[in-house]
Amino acid sequence: MAPVEALFDDLAGYLKSEDVAQVRNAYRFSEAAHQGQYRKSGQPYISHPLAVTGILAQWRLDPQALMAALLHDVVEDTKVTGVQISETFGKPVADLVDGVSKLDKIEFQTRAEAQAENFRKMVLAMARDVRVILIKLADRLHNMRTLDAMTPAKRRQIATETLEIYAPIANRLGLNVVYQELDDLGFRYLHPNRYRVLAKAVQAARGHRRDVVEKILEAIRQRLADAGIEATVTGREKHLHSIYRKMQEKSLSFSEVQDVYGFRVIVKDIPACYLALGALHGLYKPIPGKFKDYIAIAKANGYQSLHTALFGPFGTPVEVQIRTAEMHKIAEAGVASHWMYKSHAETSFSDLHQKTHQWLQSLLEMHSETKDAAEFLEHLKVDLFPDEVYVFTPKGKIMALPRGATAVDFAYAVHTDVGNRCVAAKINFELVPLRTELRNGDRIEIVTAAHANPNPAWLNFVATGKARSNIRHFLKTMHYRESVRLGERLLAQALAALQPALRQVDDEHWERFLRETNAKSREEVLADIGLGKRHNMVVARKLLFAGEHASKQIGPVEPVLIRGSEGMAVQFAKCCRPIPGDPIVASIKKGQGMVIHTHDCPVLAKLRSDPNHWLDVGWAPDVEKLFQVNIKLVAANQPGVLAKVASAIAEAQSNIDSVGMEPSEGGGYTTLHFTIEVSNRMHLAQVMRRLRSISEVVRLNREKS
């Protein structure tokens, strides 16, 4: 039977005749639009949308999704517009097509940028309507099945994209069959030689292990029958990429991977699952720590099953999954099960839909806080971890987080404000560091403070896309506000130098400046000055003298006073670590803002030749902040010296931030490098006087580079 007729015969099995007629109209429209177009394989192009629709028909999707699948490439590859699709087939179909279509009409600087923007657009459309991703996954599945026609370089690129994005999304939505096929096809085309060798090894092992597998199957069936449990028992072979991942992660050879086969037991209801588990634990001894109850605590993608690992005959590990028939349907089809089985199990999938909806909403929230498409794609990849840990809130609510998640990830999973304000965490009633990794079954309580803010150091250990994007968003916003405040001060300094009597300019000056420079707002200009993207003197001249050609005499420039409380807009250089009392100068780094150096810093000497790169600054008289400074100390290598040094620093009301040691070649002396906190040069002098009073200290100096 021709593929077209086979498809419509299949559709007639679950759609009304008028719906089938609509889908047929979409097929004719698509066939006419793609007339004369061919795929790389030489087949007529219409064969691709037809195959994609066939995959969706297996999931029993509705007519709108089927029509969108037939039309998903016409806007991209033909002269047909989205407006025409909307007028002919309705707005819902046009929206689905738009969600799947690429952004080919927009010019991007790099291919990576285009790819990231495409994913962002697709994910946003998916959050509005999950059918978008189902069509896209079916599209990717057929493209992967026909990838042989592409060049090796193109195959590798598409396979990488599939393994990094599409296979994990399929897994996240519970589409297990699609996930496994995409995963294996991605592995096959990304590592063709490894795939071939492993496939051959599995095929050979299949013959060697057939007797063992049959023996275990028969033993399981017999034990369940003896226990009076009705069950369907099947053996299953693990897919190649999961075997390869296990070999890589645990540094095993193929011969050492014994659990290539698993067994699945399907029973009638949940009590029968636990009865079957008990019966099998009586047949073979369970392997400690390998039991997982995904029925009581379902996975985030709705998956439910009991997993256990047993010591089988000849010491062979036996992996068994026990589930009900309904759980099996969800395990295989995930979110697509809504369409496949909704006629008789509408309420069974509500939890799955709720979890999927929550995940999609978290993607929308992540998008609203991440303007950069590449950064959004990075967060999405982070969020697609397949392994999860299940933890409890103080009220007993279960939350699923990726493996490696920390207390900070949990805080952001509860609510963005909880994450932004968290200062401490209790795991199982004990105070722990915020970077502590969570384990299954942990009970977590987050301690918050009203004036707390996210710490940039959290980015080094958080594991979820939501936490990462929220921290970055907060820091960027904070940096922007602080840059605006710094920009105001720098502009006031420049205005005072040009026209001492005038420290402010009126709205008319600003409106003219914004018009001439195409800047969006006054705030943006001030932020640009604070970030070093615009020079304060240039902006001041344009504000005051736009349209006037006469040169203006610049008066003496007052230094900008540094208080130490400017936040991220002002940074203190680590090369020289300036402290109040040091003569200082500031360099302006584009995009970073003001960086304060000591006037004799060797790093700054390179920038002195260009006056646009540095500013005159001074210390405010009321600086109260503590500053880090480096000191180098050579002391006799004797017991208790480090304790004496630390005690002297503490007695001088200073705090040790870090310490490093390097023993001398003879072993008689040790060089100690301290980073300590002081309020100014006088405070540093007090610390150094105390240190010099220690008899074992033979040399002491401040390190500036």
Rounded Cα distance between 210 and 328, Å, is 25
Exposed, middle or buried by CB within 10 Å (0-12, 13-18, 19+), for 454? buried
As a 3-state breakdown, the chain gives helix, strand, coil percent values, each rounded to 5, of 55, 15, 30
CA angle 93, 374, 594 (to 5 degrees): 140
> Could you confirm whether 76 is annotated as catalytic?
yes
48, 1, 41, 55: which is closest to 27 by C-alpha? 48
Residues with Cβ within 8 Å of residue 98, at least 6 apart in sequence: 75, 82, 125
The first and second tokens of residue 627, run together, are 């500053």
Q: What angle do CA 299, 305, 309 make, to 5 degrees?
A: 110
Taking the C-alpha atoms of residue 33 and residue 455, their distance in angstroms, rounded to an integer, is 55
Catalytic-labelled residue, pool 19, 31, 62, 77: 77
**Which residues fall within 8 angstroms of residue 303, CB to CB, at 6 or more apart?**
174, 176, 294, 327, 330, 331, 334
Choice among 76, 293, 437, 558 that is catalytic: 76
Confirm if 615 and 560 have CB atoms less than 8 A apart: yes
Checking DSSP bridges between strand 560-562 and strand 614-619, what pairing results, if any? parallel
Cβ(626)–Cβ(636) below 8 Å: no
Distance CA 323, CA 346 (A): 19
Residues 643/584, Cβ–Cβ less than 8 Å: no
404 within 8 A of 437, measured Cβ to Cβ: yes
Distance CA 674, CA 662 (A): 12
Place of tokens 């001492």: 500
**Amino acid identity of 506?**
D
Max Cα separation, the chain?
104
**Could you give the residue numbers annotated as active site?**
76-77
